[in-house]
Structure 1
Amino acid sequence: MMQFSESFPPLPPPLPHQIIPNKAARRWPGLPSPKLQGSSFGDANCMEQLLVHCANAIETNDATLAQQILWVLNNIAPPDGDSGQRLTCGFLRALISRAARSGSCKLLSDVAVSIPNHKFSIIELAGFVDLTPWHRFGFTAANAAVMEAVEGRSVVHIVDLSLTHCMQIPTLIDSFSTRPEGPPFLKLTVAGATEDFPPMLDLSYEDLGAKLINFARSRNVAMEFRVVPSSSSDGFSSLIDHLKITGAGDNNGEALIVNCQMLLHYIPDSETLGASCVANHVNSHHSPRSMFLKAVRGLNPCTVLLVDEDADFTSENLVTRLRSAYNYLWIPYDTVETFLPRESRQRQWYEADMCWKIENVVAQEGPLRVERLEPKGKWVQRMRGAGFRGVGFSEEAVAEVKSMLDEHAAGWGMKREEQDLVLTWKGHNVVFATAWLPA
């Protein structure tokens, strides 16, 4: 049970669901009335308003109001409730964590506010990825584009910048093994990230590489695996240097593919640099993200695949950022509500992943705040500014994505936005997939 310092009484336990409306309707000075906002206690609009008012109270050091709102949130958003309540509970934990770090409300807790993230085995991670199309969408679109880009090439070098530890590579190996002209020699280089971002793996990259090589051998695909310790915090500079030194790409007669799957938004953006960025007149074209893309362009890759979540978590304003996160991260909670029991272990792992994101977006600042998603339009600008031109996905690639989506719930869909593909849930943008060639 979360508790406060002596200046605040402890939060009471969550009330039984059937009596929440009467108890939660109690008013305190400064606490907004949900009826005036066109909401009722417990619905999404009300919970979002309460979170926003709580964030404002914490930022202005209004400890009394913050405590009042947290009391209400604790009673209407139990951690084992429906998807909206579980989502709100994640934000509640994050706000308490932020207040505890800043000292604004002198919040303490007897137990850790954060939910520990599970370290997955290979089998568990494969099952985790297969739960929804969240990752599979990008894998399927990218793999189809890779097969088309390297048709007829005898050596294929894939630089894999992936959040899910090469989980898409076995499917790609399978595709190579049945290529009409025979499989290529496959070189795989991965960034052995020095940071731990969920989902986390309980296996070293060296052991992972050995398993991938053995799998490729079983499919009669010759494969070389190399891991380069590198960090997103410096724009994967060690990886870029390694690729330059080894002459990756056409200089070695190989088709170089750079596959970026939900990892580039961990590279610092312009805002991360703070005052120094402004003082040195650094604009978006010279941010670490744009500099990384220009370095990739210098490698003259055959194709670059860029897949990421279509949301904006970059605002320096806490309330703006909280609203953006709340109105995006309801989607993963809603999706698993459709097919996983509330007590499911897989659901707990999935939601722990989301809670990590929420806490990072809400409770952290500066370099520690690494969940800095940018929408598709911003990445399109960055790619064009770095010297790339977009290419569309073929009808075969689109058909493969649609076939994959048929394996999942009816709420998932796909739409085309110019040359790009966008995964949707109940009509809302979730993940985008783009493909690029050097201009």
Structure 2
Amino acid sequence: MMQFTETYCPSPLHKIPPLPNLPVSKNQMYRARPWPGFPTPKSLGNFGDANCMEQLLVHCANAIESNDATLAQQILWVLNNIAPPDGDSNQRLTCGFLRALIARAAKSGNCKLFTAMANVHANDLSMNNHKFSIIELASFVDLTPWHRFGFTAANAAVALEGYSVVHIVDLSLTHCMQIPTLIDSIATRLEGPPLVKLTVAGAMEDFPPMLDLSYEELGSKLVNFARSRNVVMEFRVIPSSSSNGFSSLIEQLRMQQLIRVENGEALVINCHMMLHYIPEETLSSGVPNTSSPIESTSLRTMFLKALRGLDPTIVVLVDEDADFTSNNLVNRLRSAYNYLWIPYDTVDTFLPRGSKQRQWYEADLCWKIENVISHEGPQRVERLEPKSKWVQRMRNASFRGVAFSEEAITEVKNMLDEHAAGWGLKKEDEDLVLTWKGHNVVFATAWIPA
């Protein structure tokens, strides 16, 4: 983390360096919201364009990284006045990055004004700590296809025929919210429902969205729901952490492998937006005596190879199609800004301003932005990788991709019909990709041992 060389932050008197090739909107003028120590100009001019705001964020990130506290402070002041938290989608997106940059700048502790600003914005982000009830979370994840897309595609892939026992290992960001719809689909099998064994990694980290009850209580509710559908379910939670590649979960599954093979169980590994929390190559796994430091210290590579060693029947991998892994702050900022405009854009289509759900939704996004921008090292856990990288990882781990059935594609399309017109679906080889206005959002892939 950078250390500012200044011990105080004087009000900047010089102008921001010119921003080249920025589109100008004649109609966008903003009333300045003063910060302590700054004069209030009559107008900030035409800084409201999304491209301009991105450029300002880049200039600010560069100023922070080069320890130019005065310039960073000046640009943050401009951003504060053109990106209100209650503005349009681009302004709210920029406000999230503004807060993240303030938090990054404040970490040095050398500038009292940055620290004060960070404290003010920290109060605004209190919604990050909200713990959902089951009903709230189920409603929350159903708001958009962001999660439902993966649920629908995965359920079609894992509703296996011909097995009397199906063991599902659920690595999910949404606390098993996919399982009730999976139970419904399994319950209608012509040969009768199988015995369902559900194993959940009780993650030790608190990533939003958070749940207000324990996994034991959640498991009891799921078992009762399955019983109401005439499906017998066994539930087990294994405390495990993404920070070490879910090592305790893998070990428990390995110990049961012989019994599973003898009983002819199907082993389904469902990975829903959780694997990107496993550290990638930029972090050391502490493996000694390695000849190839990059490959051998990648916990993601080690995790996938361990999965392959379990000989699963099928692995479904669903995640967001973006790249947040760069060690360069500006590159990471650009990548995140040009991906996270999508959820801010979509929220205007289904949630009114001021609603609690909208506050929760955007607090979740702000948590992600702050983690990507203001944290480094093990604290930076939002390390998304694009579909192409995960596909290569799976192939390197000796998995082979399988195509989703036409029935699965039809189900996804029917689900998308329930949402705003901007959502779309496209096929890329064997994979399915959710799109918003033509831009890739979330991918779903299915794999079997090669």
Structure 2 length-normalised TM: 0.89
Matches within 5 A, 1:80-229: 80-103=86-109, 105-106=111-112, 107-109=114-116, 111-114=119-122, 115-116=125-126, 117=128, 118-147=130-159, 150-229=160-239
How many Å apart are 1:249 and its aligned residue?
3.8
SS in 1 for 2:191: coil
Matched, 1:428 2:439: yes
Return closer, same or farther for 1:36/1:294 CA change in 2, 3 Å cut-off. closer
Partner of 2:63: 57
Q: Unaligned regions of 5+ residues in structure 2, if any?
A: 1-5, 25-45
Query: Conserved in 1, the CA contact under 8 Å of 2:143 and 2:350?
Result: no
Query: Conserved in 2, the CA contact under 8 Å of 1:249 and 1:301?
Result: no
Query: Conserved in 1, the CA contact under 8 Å of 2:315 and 2:448?
Result: yes
Return closer, same or farther for 1:190/1:275 CA change in 2, 3 Å cut-off. closer
Return closer, same or farther for 1:251/1:282 CA change in 2, 3 Å cut-off. farther
Matched, 1:31 2:16: yes
How many Å apart are 1:80 and its aligned residue?
0.8
CA-to-aligned-CA distance 1:15-53 (integer Å, 9 cap, x gap): xxxxxxxxxxxx964623346534441111000000000
- Paired with 2:308 and 2:372, the residues of 1 have a C-alpha distance of 30
How many Å apart are 1:176 and its aligned residue?
1.1
Matched, 1:72 2:82: no
- Paired with 1:140 and 1:388, the residues of 2 have a C-alpha distance of 22
How many Å apart are 1:417 and its aligned residue?
0.5
How many Å apart are 1:177 and its aligned residue?
1.0
How many Å apart are 1:245 and its aligned residue?
1.1
Query: Conserved in 1, the CA contact under 8 Å of 2:163 and 2:266?
Result: yes
Return closer, same or farther for 1:28/1:140 CA change in 2, 3 Å cut-off. farther
CA-to-aligned-CA distance 1:287-326 (integer Å, 9 cap, x gap): 1001100000010000000000000000000000000000
Query: Conserved in 2, the CA contact under 8 Å of 1:62 and 1:105?
Result: no
How many Å apart are 1:252 and its aligned residue?
3.3
How many Å apart are 1:9 and its aligned residue?
6.8
- Paired with 1:275 and 1:251, the residues of 2 have a C-alpha distance of 36
- Paired with 2:290 and 2:79, the residues of 1 have a C-alpha distance of 41
Matched, 1:233 2:243: yes
- Paired with 1:338 and 1:159, the residues of 2 have a C-alpha distance of 34
* Ranges of 4+ aligned residues in structure 1 off by more than 6 Å: 274-279
Query: Conserved in 1, the CA contact under 8 Å of 2:7 and 2:110?
Result: no
Query: Conserved in 1, the CA contact under 8 Å of 2:89 and 2:345?
Result: yes
How many Å apart are 1:278 and its aligned residue?
12
Deviates more, 1:349-358 or 1:280-289: 280-289
- Paired with 2:102 and 2:93, the residues of 1 have a C-alpha distance of 15
Return closer, same or farther for 1:246/1:36 CA change in 2, 3 Å cut-off. closer
- Paired with 1:407 and 1:179, the residues of 2 have a C-alpha distance of 25
- Paired with 2:142 and 2:410, the residues of 1 have a C-alpha distance of 19
CA-to-aligned-CA distance 1:379-434 (integer Å, 9 cap, x gap): 00100000100000010000000000000000000100111000000000000000
RMSD between aligned residues:
2.1
- Paired with 2:331 and 2:178, the residues of 1 have a C-alpha distance of 34
Return closer, same or farther for 1:312/1:35 CA change in 2, 3 Å cut-off. closer
Return closer, same or farther for 1:422/1:284 CA change in 2, 3 Å cut-off. farther
Return closer, same or farther for 1:301/1:54 CA change in 2, 3 Å cut-off. same
Return closer, same or farther for 1:104/1:381 CA change in 2, 3 Å cut-off. farther
Partner of 1:44: 50
Query: Conserved in 1, the CA contact under 8 Å of 2:287 and 2:296?
Result: no
How many Å apart are 1:103 and its aligned residue?
3.7
- Paired with 1:52 and 1:383, the residues of 2 have a C-alpha distance of 34
How many Å apart are 1:280 and its aligned residue?
5.5
SS in 1 for 2:115: coil
Query: Conserved in 1, the CA contact under 8 Å of 2:416 and 2:424?
Result: yes
- Paired with 1:286 and 1:416, the residues of 2 have a C-alpha distance of 33
SS in 1 for 2:102: helix
- Paired with 1:277 and 1:38, the residues of 2 have a C-alpha distance of 52
Partner of 2:33: none
Matched, 1:340 2:351: yes
Read off the aligned partner of 1:58 and give its amino acid letter.
Answer: I
Equivalent residues, number: 417
Query: Conserved in 2, the CA contact under 8 Å of 1:79 and 1:89?
Result: yes
Partner of 1:17: none
Partner of 2:381: 370
Structure 1 length-normalised TM: 0.91
- Paired with 2:285 and 2:58, the residues of 1 have a C-alpha distance of 24
Read off the aligned partner of 2:333 and give its amino acid letter.
Answer: L
Read off the aligned partner of 1:7 and give its amino acid letter.
Answer: Y
Return closer, same or farther for 1:126/1:315 CA change in 2, 3 Å cut-off. same
CA-to-aligned-CA distance 1:251-282 (integer Å, 9 cap, x gap): 43210000000000000000122999998632
Return closer, same or farther for 1:214/1:112 CA change in 2, 3 Å cut-off. farther
Deviates more, 1:181-190 or 1:241-250: 241-250
Return closer, same or farther for 1:154/1:36 CA change in 2, 3 Å cut-off. closer
Read off the aligned partner of 1:241 and give its amino acid letter.
Answer: E
Deviates more, 1:39-48 or 1:260-269: 39-48
Partner of 1:7: 8
- Paired with 1:411 and 1:305, the residues of 2 have a C-alpha distance of 25
Partner of 1:20: none
CA-to-aligned-CA distance 1:103-134 (integer Å, 9 cap, x gap): 46452126353413111000000111011000
Query: Conserved in 2, the CA contact under 8 Å of 1:61 and 1:104?
Result: no
Query: Conserved in 1, the CA contact under 8 Å of 2:284 and 2:297?
Result: no
SS in 2 for 1:283: helix
Kindly, what percent of the aligned residue pairs are identical?
Answer: 74
- Paired with 2:236 and 2:354, the residues of 1 have a C-alpha distance of 39
- Paired with 1:413 and 1:69, the residues of 2 have a C-alpha distance of 37
Return closer, same or farther for 1:93/1:274 CA change in 2, 3 Å cut-off. farther
Q: Unaligned regions of 5+ residues in structure 1, if any?
A: 11-26
